[in-house]
Chains A and B, each alone.
Chain A
Amino acid sequence: MGELRTIPEALADAARLPRGITFLDRDRDTVRSYAEIDATSRGVAHALRAAGLRRHDAVAIVQSDPEAFLTSLLGASLAGLVPALVTPPSTMVDLPRYVESTAGVLRAAGARAVLTDATFAPVFEQGRGACPDLQLVIDRGALETSITTGLDASPTLDDLAFVQFTSGSTSSPKGVALSHRNLASNIAGVNGPGGLDTRGAEDTAVSWLPLYHDMGLVGIVFGALFMGVPVVLLTPQAFVKRPIDWLRAVTKYRGTISYAPTFAYDLCVRRVKERDLDDLDLSSWRIAGCGAEPIHGPTLAAFAEKFAPCGFRETSLLPSYGLAEHVVAAAVAPRNRPPRVAPIGPDLFVSCGRALEGHEIRIAGDDGRPLPDGNVGEILLAGPSVMVGYYRQDALTAATIRNGWLHTGDLGCLVDGELVVCGRAKDVIIANGRKFHPQDLEWAVNEVDGVRRGRVVAFGVPAAGRADRVVVLAEPKGLAESESIVDAVRRRVSDAFGLYVDEVVCVPAGTIGRTTSGKLQRTAAKLAYLRGEFTPVGVRVES
C-alpha cells in the first residue's frame, strides 16, 4: 500500500489537478474545481474556528444540499474538528419530530455545534434544550468564508476523520468512528489493481448516492478525491424521480465508475421507457458497482439485458460487500466478469469476490472458530479498514471488535475463496435502499394510544428483489379497538419515517415476550409470526 494521506492532504493534492466535481441540478449544472472546493472548505474551517470551536470538538453536519454537505464536512476536517454525519430529514417527515429523534444522535455525539442550513437551523434552535452539549446552531449559508489561509490544524492519520451516525438507529444511536488511516487504507484497497484499478486521468465517477452514507461519500466522492478522479453528482431525489437521469449523466459525461444498491438497477429496469433507450450510450461504464443492500442476481441480469443495446456490458457489474464499520467496502468481485452466483441451500446468492488487498475475511461458527469453505457463518473482517470504534461507546466497541476482528452480524460463506453473503445483519428492515431499525419503529408505536407500552415488535419479512414487508405486532391495552389501533400505528410510523407498515397485527396481551433481563424477544416473535402461531385480535391484511 502506498503513502497514506489524511483528508486535508488528499484535498490539497487534488486541488493541483485541473479536475473537480460537477453538481447537476434541474436548472443548472455547477462545476467546482477541486481547488475551489478546497478554498471554500478552508473558508468554512476558519469560520468554525472563529465561532469558538476547538480541535476534536464534535460538529454535527445536517445538510441536504450535496455541495454544502461536502464543504461543511471538509471544512470541519480542515479545522481539526470531528464531523458527525447525521441523516437529514427525508421528504414527508414531520420536521419537529425529526429534530426530536435526532436529539438522541446529537447527545451521543456530544456535539458542540450543528452545522446546517437556513431551513433546519430554526428547528434545531428550538430543539436545543434536549442537547446539553450543544452550544451553536450554525447556518452554513450565513458563514463568512472569505478567509482561507493560515490554518494551524492538521489532523494526523490517527485522528478521527469523521463519525458516521447514518447507519445506526435513532433510538440507540451508534456512531461509527473512522480515522484518516482507516479511510485512506480502504480507498487504497478499493481503488488498487485488485479492485477498481482507478486511473485519475481516464476515469469519471457519476453518482446520485446521498453523501451522508458511506457508499456515496467514501465509495465515490472521497475515492475520487484521493485518486484525482472527476465526479459528476446528481441528487438522490432527482434520481428516484427520474432514474433515466442517472444513465443520461453517464452518457453525457462518459462516466466510467458508478455505484448503486440493487433497488436502483431495478428502478431503471422498471421505469426507463423503451423509446428513451436510443439516446443512451453506456459503453464508457466500466465499473457498475452494486452493494449496500442484499444483491439480487436476476435484477442485475435484467438490467444488463435491457441496456445491452445502449452499449452496457454485463461484465461491468461489480457486486461488492461492505459496511460503515469497515469504512465502505470489504470485498469486491473481480473486474471484467459477469456476476457469479453460488447456490447456498435452496437459494442462489451473488459472489462479492475476495478481501481487499491488505485485509482479511473469515467465516466463524457460533463458537467463534473459523469454518471451512462452503459453510455458512458470521462474516468477520480484519485489517486497517476496521473502524476505530463506536464513538464514545467503549462497551459496544469491545463487543463488536474482538481480537482485532470486526464481527459484522452478517451471514456468509466462502466459495472458492470468494465471499458470498447470504444473510443480513439481523433485525434491520430495508425498504428501497433505506434502512430502518426495528427499535426506532417500536419506540414510535409505543406512543400510540391504546397500545401497551413496551409490548410492540417490528420486523421486516424479506421479499425477493423488493422492499421488505414491514410487520408490526402490538398488544392492545385493555379493550382498545384493534381496528383503530391498526390505523393509528400506520399513521404514526408514516409520520415519523415516511414508511408504510404492510401489516399491523394486534395480538393478545402476554404474547410478546421479554427475556429475564427485559430485552424484547423480537426474533422469537418474528418466528412465531412466520409460523402463523399468533391468534390475531382483528387483523387487517393488505397486499
Chain B
Amino acid sequence: MSYPASTIEEGVIDVLKTVSRRPIAPTLESDLVSDLGFDSLQVLEVIAELEDRFDISIPLNDMPGTRTVSQVVAQVAALVDARPNA
C-alpha cells in the first residue's frame, strides 16, 4: 500500500490530535513543542503511533532535528517510500 502526500499529512495531523492532551489545530508550520505543547514523552508516543499507522520504523536518532509538522510529514513520507514493498 502506498499513500499520497495528502493522506500522510492528514494521518500525521490526526495522530498529533490523538496524542495531545489539549485541543490543538496543527498546521504544517506548527512546532511540536513550542506551538503544540508536546513534551519529549509525547513526541515518542507520536512516533509509536506513526509507526503503527504507516507500518514504518522511525529511528530515534533522526528525531532531535525534527521539530515542525512538515518535517514529520516529510520524514514519514520518505520512510513509507523506502519500505521494501511500497
Contacts and interface: CB of A to CB of B under 8 A. Distances in A.
Contact of B40 (A26, A90, A493): A90
A542 B64 contact: no
Interface string A502-543: 100000000000000000000000000000000000000011
Among B33, B47, B57, B60, chain A packs the most CB atoms within 10 A around the CB of B33
Contacts of B37: 500, 502, 542-543
B44 interface: yes
B31 A491 contact: yes
Interface in B1-54: 21-22, 31-35, 37-41, 43-45, 47-48
Given A490-B34, A542-B22, A498 B40 contact: yes
A467 interface: yes
B43 A494 contact: no
A101 to B, nearest CB: 16
A241 B40 contact: no
Contacts of A487: 34
A494 B33 contact: yes
A403 interface: no
Contacts of A172: none
Nearest to A432: B41
B76 to A, nearest CB: 15
A499 B43 CA distance: 11
Nearest to A543: B22
Most A CB within 10 A of own CB, among B41, B43, B60: B41
Which label, helix, strand, loop or mixed, suits the secondary structure of the B interface? loop
A93 interface: yes
A271 B44 CA distance: 12
A90 B43 CA distance: 12
Interface in B63-83: 63-64, 67
A489 to B, nearest CB: 9
B39 A91 contact: no
A93 B22 contact: no
A231 to B, nearest CB: 22
B22 A91 contact: no
Nearest to A488: B34
Contacts of A490: 34-35
B64 A93 contact: yes
B34 A92 contact: no
A63 to B, nearest CB: 15
A242 interface: yes
Closest 4 CB pairs of A and B: A494-B33, A494-B34, A500-B37, A543-B22
